[in-house]
Structure formats: structure tokens, C-alpha cells
Structure 1
Amino acid sequence: MSFFDKVKQGASDAAKKAQQTVEITKLKAQISSKEKEIEKIYGLIGESVYTAYVAGDPSRYGEIVESYSQGIAAVKLDIEGLEQKLIEVRGEKECVCGKVVPSETKFCSSCGHQFA
């Protein structure tokens, strides 16, 4: 391999790494945004329950919490999907025990599970 081929290969590798870093940063920002969305919903739950309390209507507490909880569950599903994409972009995989390991790993260092 000539010198210029090595330089070209190095530049190509650097570009791939930069692209991977950009994608990881985007995914982390999306996850952070979703987590802030959940925090906002928690605040809305508290505000709504307090409003019902002040109005003297404690029977609405369950209804309020249930409606907002469905929204939280949907956002958490989105976060799980983004975390899976993040694992893939990093070149990792998740073991059945929940530990994240490099994709070339044959056995989980935590539980000993053998990967196919």
C-alpha cells in the first residue's frame, strides 16, 4: 500500500469516526429531550392534582394520573428505541442480563451468556 493510499484510508476512517460521533451526539440529545419531556409531564401531574385538590374534587386524582401516565409510557418507549439505536451506532450489543458489551464479544463478562 502506497503512502497516499494510507493517507486516504486514514482520512476515510477519520470521516467515519466523525460521522459516528455526530450520530451519537444527536441520539443523546434526543434522549435528553425526551427525558425533559417526562419531567415536564411529572410537573403537569402535580399541578393538575393540586388544582383538583383546591377545587375539592379528589375523585379526579386517579383519572389525572392515569391519563398522564400513558403519555409517560409512550415517551419511555421512544427513549428505549433511541437507546437501542445508540447501542447499534456504537457497535455494541445488549446481553440478556442487560449489560451492554462490544459487538465482537463472544461471552458476556457479567453473566457468561454466549452470543451466537
Structure 2
Amino acid sequence: MARLLIIGGFLAVVFWVFSIVDCAAQPATRHRGVSKSAWIAIVILIPVIGGVLWFALGRRRRADGEGERLRAPDDDPEFLRSLSRSEQDARIAQLEAELARLDDENDGSTTDPRP
């Protein structure tokens, strides 16, 4: 029985500390109801119940689009729509010319390792 109380107390302290850190680390816009400092005080003064209240009531979920991952430009449909066809063709031509120039530079300096 004593082991269960020790393990339960340890888990309660870990949950309490995690709740405090999570509440303090969230931006002020992600707190519901009362202010950030009030939530921190609630979590500190009412250890386990305050943490449960924080996760159940106080922590706002990410708004739509707020947690959206950043995309590379070639994966972003809005960016691709913003490009005109002539810009794309000019960029492709520029890259092909640069690649051809690099190939020409490498052709003169490479030696064939075969006898």
C-alpha cells in the first residue's frame, strides 16, 4: 500500500510540474477564461485539480490554420498559382543555362580514371 502511495504521489508531482510548465509556456492567446497569470496561480495553488482544470477548460486548442505546417514553395498551391507561366519558363531557362555552364566547366577539368 505504501508503494502505491509513493508512486501516486510521485505521479501527482510530475503532473503538477508538467501542468505548471505547460501553462507558463503557452502564449497568452491560447488561454481561455482568465488571464495567463491567473491560470498559473490556479495550477500552483490547487495542485492536481488545477492541472486537470487547466487541460480541460483553460487550454485553447489551436485555431484553424494557426498550427498549419510551413510548406515549401513548390508544395504551396497558392504560391504556384501566383506564378505566371512566363516567369516559370524564364526560371527554367535560367537554371538550364546554369546547368549547361557547370557541365562545360566540369568537362574540361575531369580526367578519365580508366586506362
TM range (shorter): under 0.3
The TM-score, its normalising length taken from structure 1, stands at 0.28
The TM-score, its normalising length taken from structure 2, stands at 0.28
More RCO (CA 8 Å, sep 6+): 1
Bigger share in strand: 1
